[in-house]
Chain A
Amino acid sequence: MNRAETVFLLFVFGWCAAVVLTPLAVHGPGAIGVASEISYRVFGHVCHQWDSHSFHIAGAKLPVCIRCSMIYGTFFLACLAAVALRISAVESRRARMFLLFALLPMLIDVACDLTGFHQSNVITRIITGSIAGGSLGMILAPHCIEWLQMVLSHNHSGSV
């Protein structure tokens, strides 16, 4: 594993770890409790954080909803798989089809829920979130790593 892959995977892992650690730290002493509160605020910027739509750990809800948790978790697993299996970037037309496949189930689930046609539940949130996160990870990981490689090699050659 090269440096760009390591940096990228560490960043995505850190993001996912923050999601899991936030509820565990909620009753922590001093700075730990404050860090947990800040984390809830930061993630509140990207998720509605409804209690009834979230997983709970140690009596406290995760800082993002079930759908977002699944997106982040499967995104990380897909990135790991992309690095381990040396998956390269797909051609743009296939990427567009892949994106449609990734996002359509989630959009349909949300739209049906909002219009009252069908009520989304834990299972539909887990499935649609996993499809979206996993597919996005597969598509984006090679591009993120390619860009990071460029930045790191540029910095390295600049510092020599």
Chain B
Amino acid sequence: MTENPKKFMAALYGGLVTAGISAIPGLNFINCFCCAGILLGGFLAVFFYKQELDDDLVPLTNSDCIQLGVWAGVIAAVAGTLINVMVLLAFGNVAIEVMIAIVHKMHIEFPPEYQQVLDQAIAEKATVASIVASFLLTLAMDVLFTVLGALIGWAAFKPKPRIPMQGG
């Protein structure tokens, strides 16, 4: 059997998908459905890694999937925070304002409590401490849910157990 491909690239793709979903205004609404976007990152990391595995390689294992999930979560948290900070430094809290403008154009009314949360988010000033706290929270939740996503991937793509050949 030849050496298995590196897990990093698969985790990078999965992590970047999660970071993109979490950081792009409007698209990040997907995460409101029980972290669907974050679960997807872990699932995709396993999917991409499985695509690179040939028959002559060591088959996918449970531990591979956990490692892929952890890496995807860490990458997602770092990339997502970087994107958020860059957007914040360049445009301020414009992401939320853009989202509200789009939603108003679509003639969709937010529930009053959500409108209140959005107003608070626009008014809030980002500090180094708040960014660090947000990063740590994002890291913990992203890793937890990408590992769960990766385990869903393992359940969906795990190889059939190999039956040893009988010698004649």
Residues of A within 8 A of B (CB): 41-42, 45-48, 50-52, 67-68, 71, 89-92, 95-96, 99, 106, 110, 132, 136, 139-140, 143-144, 146-147, 150
Minimum distance in angstroms from B167 CB to a CB of chain A: 27
Asked whether B63 lies within 8 Å of A147 as measured between CB atoms, the reply is yes
Asked whether A110 lies within 8 Å of B62 as measured between CB atoms, the reply is no
Contact of B32 among A41, A47, A136 (CB under 8 A): A47
> How far apart sit A39 and B162, CA to CA, in the bound complex (Å)?
45
Contacts of B6 in A (CB 8 A): none
Nearest to A146 among chain B residues (CB) is: B62
Asked whether B34 lies within 8 Å of A67 as measured between CB atoms, the reply is yes
Contacts of B35 in A (CB 8 A): 46
Contact of A143 among B33, B62, B111, B160 (CB under 8 A): B62
Asked whether A48 lies within 8 Å of B155 as measured between CB atoms, the reply is no
* Given A46-B38, A48-B114, 19 additional A-B pairs, CB 8 A: A45-B137, A45-B138, A46-B34, A47-B34, A50-B111, A52-B111, A67-B34, A68-B34, A92-B158, A92-B160, A95-B158, A99-B155, A106-B33, A110-B33, A132-B34, A140-B151, A140-B152, A147-B63, A150-B63
Contacts of A92 in B (CB 8 A): 155-160
> How far apart sit A90 and B151, CA to CA, in the bound complex (Å)?
13
User: What are 8 A-B contacts with C-beta separation under 8 Å?
Assistant: A41-B137, A46-B34, A48-B32, A50-B114, A52-B111, A92-B160, A146-B62, A147-B151
* A contact face: mostly helix, strand, loop, or mixed: helix
Chain B residues 82-110 with CB under 8 Å of chain A are none
B113 within 8 A of A: yes
Asked, given contacts A52-B113, A71-B34, A92-B158, whether A42 binds B141 with beta carbons under 8 Å apart, the answer is yes
Contacts of A67 in B (CB 8 A): 33-34
